[in-house]
Amino acid sequence: MTSHPSHLSAVTPSTTPGHAVAVTVPARSEEVAGIRKAVGALASAAGLDADRRADIALAVGEACANAVVHAYVEGEPGVLRVTADLTPIGLQVVVADDGRGMAPRPDSPGLGLGLPLMASLTTAIEFRAGDTGGTEIWMVFAVEGPAASAGWARTG
């Protein structure tokens, strides 16, 4: 599903099988807020409190910002793909790009705090090379109670 910022509120539910949120947008900074909002709406539907939703939004925003700033260093920005769903292991969010992959960047405009921040806000995090290049950041956020049971029921 392809969306633009003004349409991101319409990405839940998704037409992509298996994902409550599925967004493909240009890797531009103005797209990040809409993605955070869409994933936050899923977290809210899962019954997570405001503090936990803020943590999720921060981690997802940081992952998206990393793709925007680091994936496509030269030329036009490529794509940014985000999927999210409630699974038996929790709220799973994948942020992916087709950029240059995770490589040192001596001219980096950041302070280097994004990866540790994401790790501190997630239950589990994994950085993978994408199937066609680029980077995938797999994040899991714990969900307890009825929403977790619903995740088991849908996938089990």
Q: Measuring CA to CA, how many Å separate 136 from each of 22, 33, 81?
A: 14, 19, 9
Q: Quick check: 62 and 21 in contact, CB under 8 A?
A: no
Q: Quick one: CATH architecture of 5-101+113-155?
A: 2-Layer Sandwich (3.30)
Query: H or E element: which one contains 125?
Result: strand 124-129
The domain spans of the chain are 5-101+113-155
The pTM for the full model equals 0.79
Residue 139 CA to residue 37 CA, distance in Å, equals 17
- Answer yes or no: is pLDDT of 109 > 80: no
- Answer yes or no: is pLDDT of 5 > 60: no
Average confidence (pLDDT) over 145-149:
56
- Answer yes or no: is pLDDT of 60 > 80: yes
pLDDT value of position 83: 94
